[in-house]
Each structure stands twice: as C-alpha cells, then as structure tokens.
Amino acid sequence: MSTQQEQPQEPESQEAPEDPEMRGAESPQQERLKEKEQGLAQDEAVDESDVEGETVHLKVFRYDPEVEGKQEPRFDDFYVPFEKGMTVLDAVMYARDEFDSSLTFRHSCRQAVCGSDAFFVNGKQQLGCKTQISELKQPIRIEPLPHQEVVKDLVVDMDHFYDQMHAVEPYFQDEDTPDTADLEEQRQSPENREKIKMSSRCIWCAACMSSCNIAAGDNEYLGPAAINKAYKFAMDDREDDEIKEHRLRILEQEHGVWRCQTQFSCTEVCPKDIPLTEHIQELKREAVKKNLKFW
C-alpha cells in the first residue's frame, strides 16, 4: 500500500457565462480612439471627394470665320476638373483635349518665356501659363487680347504688333566698330547693364499693347513694347551718340513717346514686371535734352 497521500485535485476553473450585453465591450479609452479614427477617416473621405468632384467653370470666347454656324462670336462653357497648381493654360488645354478639339489658342514653352499664350482673363491681360486658377473668381472668362484682330477663338493677328517692334530697329548698332578680323569684345559696365536689365526681359507677348488706350485709338502709335525695346538700345553705352540720336528721332515722332498719356496700364499688365511707363518717360526726357541748345 502506498504511503503517499493522494493530493486533492483543484476544481477546474469555469469561465463565467458570457453576458450578451457585455459582448464586444471595450475600455473607454479604446472607444475614444476608435471614434477618433472613424472621424478622421470620414473627414479624409470628404476631403478626397471634394477634390475629386471640384470643377472649374470656364467661359471661353469662340469664333471661327471659316465655319458656317461659328461666324457669330459666342462663349462656350467648359467644366474642367481642378488640380492643385492648375493654370489657365492647363485648363484650356484640358478643355481642348477632352471636350472640343477645335478650340484654338497659342502656346509653346509653358514657362512664361515665349509670350505666345497671352489672354484676356477676367478682364485683364495675363499669361495663361503664369495665371493660377485658384486666384481667379469663377466663372473664369477667357477672351482673346482686345484691340487685336481675332483670327480664330483665342488667336489674334500679331503682324501689326511685330511691325511696330521692328520699326524701332531692335538690334545693336555701332558705327565705330572696326571692320577687322580680330575684334575685341565690347564690354558693358555693370552699372549700365543694371540700368537696361529690366527692359531686356520683354517676351513680345503684346499684353501691354492690348491694354493701351492710345494704341487702341492710334494704329500708328509705336506702343509701349516697341518703345521699351528702343529704350534697351538707346540707353546702352556701347552705342555711339550718333546712333542714339537716330533712335531718339524715331521715338520723338508724332506717333512715338509723346503719344503716351502716362496711364500705367501697360506697366500693370506686364507679366515680366517691366516698368514700361517709367522707360517711356525717361526717353521723353532724353528727347528734350537732345533738343536743348546752349549758347
């Protein structure tokens, strides 16, 4: 017979019956965290739906003299999906690519350098590639540049503008340059370069010409862009005095600098921030000084 006493067995632990009301119960902290996560998820879903559903309302000028039924100017409505950083040019390109391939406008570099996409946006001359959609009130009204002949839709005839630009002889001239094979470079002082630096930023977009009331009423007026281009060379110290006088004679003609009424509209719309009106006034002063005679 064994002397080892049999150890009493501990009763098996029995789990309390599950209360249906307590099923799935969580601590107050876990409940708060869960509610917070659900709230954030709902907010994100709303934000994403807002971004995905947001559209930009464009009213685009349309005109096509070669197509019957489109010869009467009108405005077409386009609703373009908005994206952060979208420009006016981005929007009209989307409208052309997705809705109406016949929509016509000019654009090239998309870097505010070529000057080909100047439009009349919400009543102001602006570069399409530089103008942010987010900064404009809707509906966004996009028209061709005023005071220019419309070729089709947003495209205007630029021939007259280019003629005025070339009329001021926009190229460097120096009759004192020796005609030899071993020419030395014609150096420009830093001070003189700084003086004409802003005038050299012109991209020939014609926004200033379009905004000028004088140019609108006087087809022979050189216009702010051409006069600014002349300023760049007239104020360049590397050209001699005779050439400068020749330039001033071009500028002081009846339809030159004296037609400017200092309205500053050209300066306000210039996408490159060139002080066009100031340059015109300085050329007026130079023309006066040239005609002063002291005995």
Options 3.40.50.2000, 3.40.50.620, 3.40.50.720, 1.10.1060.10; which CATH number does 159-173+192-291 get? 1.10.1060.10
Nearest to 52 by CA among 79, 31, 81: 81
Looking at residues 49-76, what average pLDDT do you find?
Answer: 84
Would the pLDDT of 169 be above 70?
yes
Q: What is the mean pLDDT of the chain?
A: 84
Q: Are 76 and 100 in contact (CB under 8 A)?
A: yes
| Residue 213 pLDDT | 93
Nearest to 70 by CA among 150, 156, 187: 150
DSSP secondary structure string for all residues of 234-263: HT-TTS-HHHHHHHHHHHTSTTSGGG----
Q: Exposed, middle or buried by CB within 10 Å (0-12, 13-18, 19+), for 43?
A: exposed
| Residue 172 pLDDT | 85
Helix, coil or strand: residue 28: helix
Q: Backbone phi, then psi, for 276, in 5-degree steps?
A: -60, -45
CATH number for the region 52-149 comes to: 3.10.20.30
CA distance 230 to 165: 9
Where are the domain boundaries for CATH 3.10.20.30 in the chain?
A: 52-149
Tens of pLDDT, residue by residue over 131-164, are 999 999 999 999 999 999 999 999 999 999 999 9
Would the pLDDT of 23 be above 90?
no
- Model-level pTM? 0.76
Would the pLDDT of 177 be above 90?
no
| Residue 8 pLDDT | 46
Looking at residues 80-108, what average pLDDT do you find?
Answer: 96
The position carrying tokens 């987010």 is: 134
The model's confidence at residue 41, banded by pLDDT at 50, 70 and 90, is low
Which strand (E) or helix (H) includes residue 77? Answer: strand 74-81
